[in-house]
Structure 1
Amino acid sequence: MKWRTQHIAAMVVLLLAGCTSTGQTNGPSSQGAAAPPAQQASAPAQLKSPSELPKNLFYTNPVIKRGADPGVFRASDGKYYAYPTGGGGFRGNSSSDLVQWKDEGQVLKAADTFGDKNFWAPQVLEYKGKFYMFYSAGKGEGKLHINVAVADSPKGPFKDMLKEPLLNYEYSTIDPYVLIDDNGKIYMYYSNNLLPEGDKKVSSINVVELNEDMSSIKSGPITVAKPEQSWEMQSGNNRWNEGAFVLKHDGTYYLMFSANCYCNRNYSVGYATSKSPTGPFVKYKDNPIMSAEHTKVSGPGHHSIIPSPDGKEWWIMYHTHIDVKKGGGDRQLNIDRIGFRSDGSIYVNGPTITGQMRPSGTTGKWKNIAGDAKVSVSSTKQGFTEKALNDGEIGLYRRFDKYDWVANNETAGAWAQLTWPTQRVVKSVLIYESASGLRALQTGKIILDDGTEIKDIEFPTEPGAAAIVNLAERKVKSIKVVIEKALTNETGLSEIVVIGE
């Protein structure tokens, strides 16, 4: 990691020892409450690298060191299965927590399919006791086509249901995604692969309805998305909408997709919405929602969405380039949180490359308790809200900084406080800066309700990185985060995560 030039390389982890909480609450200074005398932690502040973060609480990307275009789902056995793009077939991976993955070996062999090369972007789903794999492949010098294979287990062996491809068009088709709607109807979304349009070649996303046999088409195709927004035009005369994934939330269909060439750093994720699975879809005005905004990340895209083990969070698995300068086809698989704002728009807490809290349901008794706290602040600039501090969204993109908390005409001394009705045991605190570089921080401090102060907390600059403070299972009723030094004339924070019980 690289701190700003005035800082040394490391993630901030401050260890507190030998300080006993008195249970006294230190209320917001704006309310005139008298604060008890400040106490310094008896142990000196210590810095630790991400590799030293407790593995039962934190993870760091990538979670699979080589792979691309992951098709991921959670099977009825409770495990997650991920299938990346292959060579002569596909390999599978399994996990119980989305963080640690086991290679399950070859799950589909080329000999059991119509194709012999370019096995791309599989999706597997469970339906009526069987497991269906939709994928694209080529044969000889021919084009890529989508077919479907079936197995009795998510570990395979999968074998083609048809001797000829399911989509046997005269042009190439790639990136299938199958949605089983609430009414039982089955839709398959896919992309054609660079069809000529004037002086350009364009990949558009289409949808067909499948029959219940999962191996024949009932109706379609209908085009539902094609490159039309400015962020999708960064690959010259070749333009893509591909890697479709459809998520239904509160009666709205979210068609998520990737645009630009997978080989370049500007490969990114956006989405469109509709009240019907076949459209018309309207693209989100602030696309893309995940992109490479930092020199240490390249090409985030082609993803799947899955729930956390306890079903309380949504997660995105996606690929990035292993070599951020070279780009190309060597990619790795990452996970990060996503969520829905109150206005229905999607946010993505990624791409990240530093320690983040593990998925909910995988950390035992520990969870993020920030949402249980009352938030108070020293001030709030008009157009912003303190509710942003525990809404789940971390700051990664300047274009979304309206979802941060920003102090009103304050820099040093601005503060935000989380207060619980009763004492809580806290393991760690993660403090995230504002998404905007116009509000960059240098140092801050934490004040606990017993008056303990943890000073000189430094803020890392990697995308989505948090300053992490280890409270070593302290009992607290309130935690106040105070800005000590700011690098700009305005300040704020995007999120405070509190790992406690």
Structure 2
Amino acid sequence: MHAVSRILFALPVILPLISAEAASPVLLPGQVPESGNPILPGYFADPSIVQIDGKNFIYATLDPWGGQTLGCWESPDFKNWTYRQLNWPTQQACHSPTSGNAGVWAPSVILAPDGRYHMAVSVGSEVWIGVADSPLGPWQNSLGDRPLIPADFKPGYHMIDAEWFVDEDQQVYLYWGSGHGWTNGRCFVAKMNSDLTAFAGEIQDVTPSHYFEAPFMVKRQGRYFLMYSDGVTVKDTYQVHYAVGNSPFGPFEEGPTSPILVTDATQHIVSPGHHSVFQRQGRDYILYHRHRIPFEPESVARQTCVDELHFLPDGTLQKVTPTHHGPDFIQNRDETLHRIPGAAASASSTATPLTSPAFVLDSNYATRWTAAPDAHGAWLMIDLGELKSIQHQLIRPEFCWKPFPFAMETSADGEHWNRQADFLQSPSLGSPILIEKSFVARFVRLVFPDTLQGSEISIFEWSLH
């Protein structure tokens, strides 16, 4: 978070008149106000979750296709998430002769039996492992300057999507593997030694039917459920399957209800997959990514969602109904609780009717405002309807890991403006951007420098209270 405790000074920004009207938003399924899914404001894929001491941590790939590091989010309540920067993994720290220039992606994090946190992460087509004493680190390479699984470990297959599994006897296993060209995926598994730095047994190929990548192991009622993804994530065919066995090594037989999580194009839910499973108050949930709305084929802008998962008494999994609402415990986040009745947003421009300024007030991370591509001197304004006392603001930019320069100004009449906060010269990072500045005003606006391209000026939510 970033608290603003002083007013800085920068070059003035010349704005169009504030009378520009907000375009009426075009609503698709999933774009109604207060939808709980997606749960994170941004494009985060391949989510892994740790729950400890009443806190929740999600680690995920930065879309598109990974970045210099990972995305990490922390929440005390599963409603309101704060972006955290990790010191590791980074592309620079996880570099070997076989790592290439690919980004960091597909993390798996656990609190292991040794009492420490262990991460397995893909960098290009190899697996690196790290260790820390707390979920936010500091993290360090477990093996120094080398990966656990180099890219040439199993020629012909991708060494990616490694996932830890801790059995009831505290033995830890590692599952991983994919194919090339969206075909011929293979799943490998091995026991790990006590400090999770080496394999403690033979590596086995346990590939079930319809497997491509993203293995995740769950044990229920004494049986082992190997869950995984198949299809093409940049199309509408990505989906979650499962297979069942009597040991961590199988053999695994695909379940009769597989696949359990698939595209629902009528609801604009496209290519759900690469998931993890967690429990909350004795119930199972699936944490997964799916494409933003609207889906653009061959694009990679995936968002993290959660829905309930049911293991049935007959040893099968019930098909998951992917929703926009999500379970009750993700409802009523701060943007919902602090919505101001009658407030209206307008902007200097908007990229399309699907990126209307009205969306910054709807408490829905499936929607956002984006300025027109050729925007210059862009601004976003909220009319509170009358003079109101404001103490706190939360701003969630589209790309929270990128510098986001802006200034915040207020007015009682829409003609005379006072600058209250300034991030033009020292752009803010993170999400939410927290502005703690008390004022009384009817109009509040954000102004952006000409140096930003229109596509870089984009906000999911702007909450004032």
Aligned to 2:227: 256
Alignment-derived partner of residue 56 in structure 2:
80
- C-alpha distance after superposition, 1:313-347 (max 9, x if no partner): 11111001114242532111101111122322212
Alpha-carbon distance between aligned partners in 1 of 2:278 and 2:309, rounded to the nearest angstrom: 10
Task: Determine if contact 1:148/1:160 at 8 Å carries over to the other structure.
Answer: yes
Aligned to 1:148: 129
SS in structure 1 opposite 2:300?
coil
CA displacement at 1:81 relative to structure 2: 1.1
- Return the letter of the residue paired with 1:289: I
Find the aligned partners of 1:287 and 1:160 in 2 and give their Cα distance: 37
1:106 is aligned to 2:86:
yes
Specify the code of the residue in structure 1 equivalent to 2:275.
H
Equivalent residue for 1:126, pick from 111, 114, 119: 111
The 8 Å contact of residues 242 and 254 in structure 2, kept in 1 or not, is answered as yes
The equivalent residue for 2:252 is 281
The 5 Å alignment of 1:483-494 reads: none
**Aligned 8 A contact 1:112 1:158 in 2:** no
| Structure 1 residue 348, shift from structure 2 partner | 4.6
Q: Which of 316, 320, 325 lines up with 2:286 in the alignment? A: 316
More strand as a share of residues = 1
CA shift, 1:184, in A, is 2.1
- Per the TM alignment, residue 50 of structure 1 is displaced from its structure 2 partner at its CA by 4.9
**Structure 1 Cα separation of the partners of residues 323 and 215 of structure 2:** 22
Aligned length: 289
Give the alignment of 1:204-243 within 5 angstroms.
204-226=186-208, 228=209, 232=210, 240-243=211-214
2:36 to 50, 59, 62: 59
Partner Cα separation in structure 1 for residue 227 and residue 218 of structure 2:
8
1:246 paired with 2:227, answer no
Amino acid paired to 1:106: L
1:439-493: CA deviation from partner (whole Å, max 9, x where unpaired): xxxxxxxxxxxxxxxxxxxxxxxxxxxxxxxxxxxxxxxxxxxxxxxxxxxxxxx
Partner amino acid for 1:81? F
- Residue identity (%): 27
- Aligned in 2, Cα 1:266/1:10: closer, same or farther, shift over 3 Å? closer
- TM-score normalised by the chain length of structure 2: 0.58
Letter in 1 for 2:180: L
Larger Rg: 1
Change in CA separation of 1:87 and 1:325 when aligned onto 2, cut-off 3 Å:
closer
1:25-424 paired onto structure 2 within 5 Å = 50-51=32-33, 59-75=36-52, 77-85=53-61, 86-108=66-88, 109-114=90-95, 117-127=102-112, 128-138=114-124, 144-162=125-143, 163-168=145-150, 169=153, 171=155, 172-194=158-180, 201-226=183-208, 228=209, 232=210, 240-295=211-266, 296-308=268-280, 311-322=281-292, 323-353=294-324, 355-359=325-329
Q: Pick closer, same or farther for the CA change 1:303–1:275 going to 2, 3 Å.
A: same
Give yes or no for contact 1:253–1:273 (8 Å, CA) kept in 2.
yes
* Letter matched to residue 44 of structure 2: G
CA deviations on 1:118-177 (whole Å, 9 max, x unpaired) are 212011111223111101113xxxxx1112011122112322111211112153300011
TM-score by length of 1: 0.54
- Do the aligned partners of 1:315 and 1:335 also contact (CA within 8 Å) in 2? yes
Contact 2:307–2:327 (CA<8 Å) still a contact in 1? no
Where does the alignment leave 5 or more consecutive residues of structure 2 unmatched?
Answer: 1-26, 334-465
Q: Classify 1:107/1:123 alpha carbon distance in 2 versus 1 (closer, same or farther; 3 Å).
A: farther
Structure 1 match to 2:463: none
CA–CA distance in 1 between the matches of 2:172 and 2:80?
Answer: 32
Q: Secondary structure at the match of 1:359?
A: helix
SS at match of 2:203: strand
CA distance in 2: counterparts of 1:256 and 1:220, whole angstroms: 22
